[in-house]
């Protein structure tokens, strides 16, 4: 099957992002950019996209298309179904580019502009075929963020607009079709308002750049990321919804809370319009349902940030460390050692309403990591070149685990001698046993990646725990494999 073809004119940060988006969605991509470093720069953007974009999908992406660089625009646009212009924001330059493009491209090709400021009517001004040209304004990184503002005029045929939406949707984007032209479209107008207010806060000595960023990334930015502005405020209005929120906070628009004081009057007609649109958007959900959805989304976002140790996630990791304290072996090691105590997060459940299979392994993996630390295989030890690798794992699922359950893992050392560490984990909620995990680990040299003897102090501690546990009953399920019970 012949791949569809896109042409990218201008291979900067945005053009490179468009190239990566099309390419990884199976399109052949032809690039024109006079910059002698274009191939290197786009190659680096593409490397980042290959690393990150496929991870958003739970299915295999289409086979990657072919990427080629061309000396002229006429050669680059040959046979292209979609042409994305991402040249600098100078109207005369863009119009000149369109004149060249339209001399050589197919008459039914769509020409999208990445412009953040110009209206499509301005871009179409000197065009041979103005109906070909639309605004398709994306957000960086183009290969990850789905929003693209699609702005058209009455010169764009309905079929062209529909085809543009289909193509953009087909490469995983969300085309937000503006009903009317406006300078800077929609999203950048919001950004500009926040940017202007931030500049005033800095100039007036109210806040630093870091404090302003903290206000966004630790607060409303997280809410906006998953519900936007109006759905967030609908919840703030409580059970009475958006109309109640406006009644409560609408008068604030006349107060000097911002330097941007040119605001519309909250007439009854405007209130009705906002409330009716909010009802249409979210009225099918109760406030409690919206709150639960919000909480689920926020937990997912915050836990993702935790994994990267960034933004609000870095705060949560620091709090975890404060609460947990320094891990040390208990004074009494004659009993199984508690290696995990935690609640099951909202995003750990599956379509059956209980904990996903992969999370059982994560919990037992965390228990193994904690046991390693307790016997001395911590970050400092690993930095010297030694660690344990898991060689075999066997998990038994004994009972259901639901979101919010407070789980505990008790770990018994079945063997701790030489290069081997044999652990048996039991997961509980209260007295109810939920699952077991049996793990055989081998000590390795990180330099050779082969089995090696552990350092003496580590071996001595592990042996001491194993000797203390040898008197314990052998746990039910230890040493068993998957099979039909007789």
Residue 15 counted as an annotated binding residue: yes
Give domain 326-469's CATH number out of 3.40.50.620, 3.20.20.80, 2.40.50.220, 3.10.129.10. Answer: 3.10.129.10
**May I ask the CATH class of domain 187-293?**
mainly alpha
Stretch 341-368: mean pLDDT, rounded?
89
Q: Is the whole model's pTM more than 0.85, yes or no?
A: no
- Fold that domain 5-178 belongs to in CATH: Rossmann fold (3.40.50)
Burial class (CB in 10 A: 0-12, 13-18, 19+), 206: exposed
Residues with Cβ within 8 Å of 82's Cβ and at least 6 positions away in sequence, in order, are 4, 5, 6, 7, 22, 27, 109, 110, 112, 167
Residue 483 counted as an annotated binding residue: no
Residue 304 counted as an annotated binding residue: no
DSSP string, 383-408: HTTEEEEEEEEEEEE-S---TT-EEE
Residue 11 counted as an annotated binding residue: yes
385 backbone φψ class: left, alpha, beta (φ>0; ψ -120 to 50): left
Residue 202 counted as an annotated binding residue: no
**Of 337, 437, 327, 444, whose CA–CA distance to 374 is shortest?**
327
Start-end of CATH 3.10.129.10 domains in the chain: 326-469
Lowest mean pLDDT among 32-36, 157-161, 203-207, 397-401: 203-207
Q: Is 112 helix (H, G, I), strand (E, B) or coil?
A: strand
**pLDDT tens per residue across span 86-111:** 999 999 999 999 999 999 999 999 99
Residue 442 counted as an annotated binding residue: no
Start-end of CATH 1.10.1040 domains in the chain: 187-293
Contact indicator for 400, 416 with CB cutoff of 8 Å = no
Start-end of CATH 3.40.50.720 domains in the chain: 5-178
Stretch 349-378: mean pLDDT, rounded?
93
Contact indicator for 339, 370 with CB cutoff of 8 Å = yes
Stretch 362-374: mean pLDDT, rounded?
96
Tokens of 334: 């004659």
Stretch 320-331: mean pLDDT, rounded?
84
């Amino acid at each position: 099957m012949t791949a569809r073809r896109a042409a990218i004119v201008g291979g900067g940060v945005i053009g490179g992002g468009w190239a990566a988006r099309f390419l990884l969605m199976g399109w052949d991509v032809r690039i024109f950019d006079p910059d002698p470093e274009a191939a290197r720069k786009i190659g680096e953007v593409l490397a980042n996209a290959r690393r990150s974009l496929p991870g958003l999908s739970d299915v295999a992406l289409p086979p990657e298309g072919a990427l080629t660089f061309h000396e002229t625009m006429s050669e680059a646009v040959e046979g292209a179904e979609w042409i994305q212009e991402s040249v600098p924001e100078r109207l005369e330059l863009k119009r000149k580019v369109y004149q060249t493009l339209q001399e050589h491209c197919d008459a039914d090709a769509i020409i999208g502009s990445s412009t953040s400021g110009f209206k499509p009517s301005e871009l179409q001004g000197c065009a041979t075929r103005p109906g070909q040209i639309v605004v398709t304004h994306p957000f960086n990184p183009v290969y990850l963020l789905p929003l693209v503002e699609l702005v058209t005029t009455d010169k764009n045929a309905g079929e062209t607009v529909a085809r543009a939406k289909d193509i953009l949707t087909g490469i995983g984007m969300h085309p937000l079709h503006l009903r009317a032209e406006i300078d800077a479209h929609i999203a950048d107008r919001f950004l500009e308002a926040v940017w202007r207010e931030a500049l005033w806060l800095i100039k007036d000595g109210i806040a630093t750049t870091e404090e302003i960023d903290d206000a966004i990334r630790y607060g409303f930015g997280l809410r906006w990321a998953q519900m936007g502005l109006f759905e967030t405020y609908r919840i703030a209005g409580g059970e009475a919804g958006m109309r109640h929120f406006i009644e409560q906070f609408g008068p604030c628009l006349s107060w000097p809370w911002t330097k941007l004081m040119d605001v519309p009057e909250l007439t009854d007609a405007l209130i009705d319009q906002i409330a009716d649109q909010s009802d249409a958007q979210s009225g099918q959900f109760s406030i409690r349902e919206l709150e639960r959805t919000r909480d689920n989304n926020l937990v997912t976002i915050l836990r993702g940030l935790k994994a990267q140790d960034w933004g609000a996630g870095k705060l949560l990791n620091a709090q975890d460390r404060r609460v947990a304290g320094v891990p040390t072996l208990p004074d009494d090691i004659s009993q199984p050692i508690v290696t995990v105590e935690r609640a099951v997060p909202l995003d750990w459940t599956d379509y059956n309403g209980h904990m996903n299979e992969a999370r059982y392994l994560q919990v037992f993996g965390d228990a193994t990591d904690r046991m390693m630390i307790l016997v001395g295989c911590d970050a400092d030890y690993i930095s010297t070149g030694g660690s344990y690798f898991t060689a075999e794992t066997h998990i038994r699922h004994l009972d259901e685990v639901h979101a919010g359950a407070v789980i505990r893992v008790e770990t018994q050392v079945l063997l701790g001698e030489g290069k081997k560490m044999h652990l048996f984990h039991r997961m509980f909620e209260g007295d109810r046993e939920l699952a077991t995990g049996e793990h055989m680990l081998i000590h390795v040299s990180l330099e050779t990646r082969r089995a090696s003897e552990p350092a003496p102090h580590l071996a001595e501690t592990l042996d001491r725990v194993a000797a203390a546990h040898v008197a314990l009953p052998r746990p039910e399920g230890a040493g068993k494999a998957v099979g039909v019970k007789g």
